[in-house]
Structure 1
Amino acid sequence: MTTIAPVKDSIANPAPLGLCAFGMTTVLLNIHNAGVFEMNSMILGMGIFYGGLAQVIAGIIEAKKNNTFGLTAFTSYGFFWLSLVGLIVMPKLGWVNAPDENAMVAYLSIWGLFTLLLFLGTLRLNRALQFVFASLTVLFALLAIGDATGNKTVSHLAGYEGIICGASAIYTGIAQILNEVYGKTVLPIGPVNS
């Protein structure tokens, strides 16, 4: 007779890495969007290495944990950051023309729609993730409206809203770390819906 022993999941939770990578990169880009400083290598470096690669790695680990939502969200937003850096850097290298306002509106709008659809998935998850995805949907909408209208006030408002969105992702990632380390709720993330 064969006995099947249960296998314990020994893989660490990759969500805090993905959330912090997304959040910190989002905050820094949106400080720029708010008009505090110009686009620079700090933002592009974060976009490639932390917002981009770290999120893709987190997403791959989520796949190993059989978490389709985490896989899709983290790898998608990791590649969002890499594609955004590409949109900025490739024209400067002379490889392609920079996207015009209409192209950026389309780019931001499709990411906003994708985010809205993922938000629907968070309705079965915790309140903190619901806030992250809801505020990210609003951010993409504001950025698209700002590009469509050329209204810098809307773009600056998007920057401030993006700082809030990014900060909420950082909070959610750090809350998961501290709650796990201390074995109790140190930073609440809201109840998990069933």
Structure 2
Amino acid sequence: MSAFGGTLNPGYAPIPTRKFGNPAPLGLCAFGLTTFVLCMANVRVRGVSNPSTFIGLGYFYGGFIQLLAGMWEMAVENTFGATALSSFGGFWLSFAAIETDAFGIVSAYGDDIHGLNTMLGIYLMGWFIFTFILVLCTLRSTVAFFLLFFTLDLAFMFLGIGKFYPDKTAITIVGGVFGLMSAFFAFYNAFAGLANNENSLFVIKPIPMPWNPVLKASRKNKST
């Protein structure tokens, strides 16, 4: 099956044999909207730096709904989509829990702000490592599909470094910018999976990476 960001299919998954809808756009929208809201605070839009408003989205849309979409990806035989959406659903649930006073995670550090920031940095760098694995799985897919995870990986890296050096706010702002780019590509891929000639005047045509095997095969056929 050809790689396509609208189905979160990097190119190796089989054609679904069950009659289910495509859960990828739902998961992508949940991820994109939650990321957008959080990263607007990271870039200090209108002077706001408190991201607490994202917590509701983190639990219910980016968290629970995206987790459901990930489970449905497993039902349509897309291991990559299931791993990505379920994992990031878990990310948003866990991050919202960190920001929720009732869990007592932040308060457990008391006055040890350095220890809290260090552990948050390690937490984000762990997600950087995980996302890097996903990036490797999209190198032969499409441009927008690859850029979604590549920009997200950079966002995790800079946001993690920003926690290690909290006095250097520019690092966190850079991470927020990459996060906003990732949110944009999430919405872009979601639209690609939703729009067709029957419901939209605009249909996105996937742009494969230069070394995409399907693109290389088509070029070979044209040359012969």
Cα 1:180/1:84, change in 2 over 3 Å: farther
Residue 174 (str. 1) matches residue 185 (str. 2) = no
Residue 72 (str. 1) matches residue 88 (str. 2) = no
Helix, strand or coil at the partner of 1:100: helix
Within-5 A mapping of 1:132-147: 132-147=148-163
For residues 1-56 of structure 1, the C-alpha deviation after alignment (integer angstroms, 9 at most, x for no partner) is xxxxxx95310011111111101110110001111224355311111111001111
Identity of aligned residues (%): 35
Q: CA deviation at 1:184?
A: 9.8
CA distance in 1, matches of 2:200, 2:19: 17
Match of 2:133 in 1: 117
For residues 166-192 of structure 1, the C-alpha deviation after alignment (integer angstroms, 9 at most, x for no partner) is 111111101211137559971233227
Match of 1:3 in 2: none
Cα 1:8/1:109, change in 2 over 3 Å: closer
Q: Which amino acid aligns with 2:148?
A: V
Cα 1:170/1:28, change in 2 over 3 Å: same
CA distance in 1, matches of 2:72, 2:140: 21
**TM-score, with length taken from structure 1:** 0.87
Within-5 A mapping of 1:120-131: 120-131=136-147
| Alignment coverage as a number of residue pairs | 186
For residues 121-171 of structure 1, the C-alpha deviation after alignment (integer angstroms, 9 at most, x for no partner) is 112332211000000010001101111112111111221221111111111
Q: Which amino acid aligns with 2:87?
A: S
Cα 1:189/1:25, change in 2 over 3 Å: farther
Match of 2:18 in 1: 9
Match of 1:162 in 2: 179
Query: Do 2:42 and 2:51's aligned partners in 1 also have CA atoms closer than 8 Å?
Result: no
Structure 1 portions without partners, runs of 5+: 1-6
Within-5 A mapping of 1:43-122: 43-89=54-100, 92-93=101-102, 95-96=104-105, 97-98=108-109, 100-122=116-138
CA distance in 1, matches of 2:140, 2:176: 28
Structure 2 portions without partners, runs of 5+: 1-15, 110-114, 214-224
Query: Do 1:172 and 1:189's aligned partners in 2 also have CA atoms closer than 8 Å?
Result: no
**TM-score, with length taken from structure 2:** 0.76
